[in-house]
Amino acid sequence: MLQRPLGVKERPSTFVKTWGEKQMELIDPEKRRAQRDHLIKEVGKGYFADLNRTRKFGGKTWIAPPTAIREDKALYFPDIAGTPLDKNTKVHTTDLLRGKISVVGILTTQISDEHIRYFVQSTNAAFLNPQYPRYQHVLINLQENVLKSMLVSIFLSSIRRSVPPEMHSRYLASSQNMEFVREDMGMVNKHIGYVYLVDENLKIRWAGCGDAKAEESEALLRCTKVLLERLQQKVPEKGEKNVKGAVK
């Protein structure tokens, strides 16, 4: 079972850090210690460790929680910049996710794409329609490796054909380096899919990974319903269908 909230402590921003801010980070002892510990852990891992775990356990490193993480305990989804399928300008997740209830999938391989699909199919079936405008499903094709990132860019037209047109604005191709937030996000296996339920304030309220168990998919559906209900109560939107009747 997932034992801790996932995410970063600092509220995400689309602003690029200044040279001075980057220098301050370099001399921050806490951040330097965290980076050192992370590098030591990575050096100690075998080259095929992630792949072997994927074959043996479906890559699963935790079981998703049955309920959402409390808002006051939840951490933030980091800002990830990527290029959507419908245009050539970069989009930031901070702008894309703000004000909505979002199920975000991070994929790196074909098998990770399948992991995400099984996790989200019930939730998307219930809420991914015009009656629930404040729900969205976002996919991030994350390729930190330069060569893999170039291949994704080359095959973008093929990806566009395989992704429904209504998802093109919410499918991002990104080459952003996630190395130093990977542990914070629980992304310890680079071969599997990760799913995050992000609230309107950019906080991660639930997460799942690897092969989806039936109870995990059901938990995502329940938690999404709860967050949508609460958002409706806080900020009602004209013409929006009441979430309470959507899922029994």
Average pLDDT across each block of 10 residues of the chain; the chain has 248 residues. List them in order.
94 76 63 60 52 58 95 98 93 98 96 96 97 97 80 79 94 91 92 97 98 97 98 82 73
Query: Around Cβ 75, how many Cβ atoms within 10 Å?
Result: 20
Look up the domain containing 104 and give its range.
Answer: 19-235
Closest-CA residue to 133 (of 223, 244, 234, 231): 231
Q: Is residue 42 part of a domain?
A: yes
* Domain assignment of residue 158, yes or no: yes
Q: How many domains does the chain have?
A: 1
What's the confidence (pLDDT) of residue 149? Answer: 73
Give the three-state DSSP class for 197: strand
Query: Is residue 12 domain-resident?
Result: no
Burial of 163: CB neighbours in 10 Å, binned 0-12, 13-18, 19+: middle
Within a domain: residue 90? Answer: yes
Nearest residue to 172 via CA among 152, 200, 201: 152
Predicted local confidence at residue 22, as pLDDT = 54
Distance between CA atoms of 183 and 93, rounded to whole angstroms? 19
Q: Domain for residue 154, yes or no?
A: yes
Host H or E run for residue 127: helix 110-127
Per-residue model confidence (pLDDT) at position 186: 95
Which CATH number characterizes residue 74's domain?
3.40.30.10
pLDDT at site 128? 96
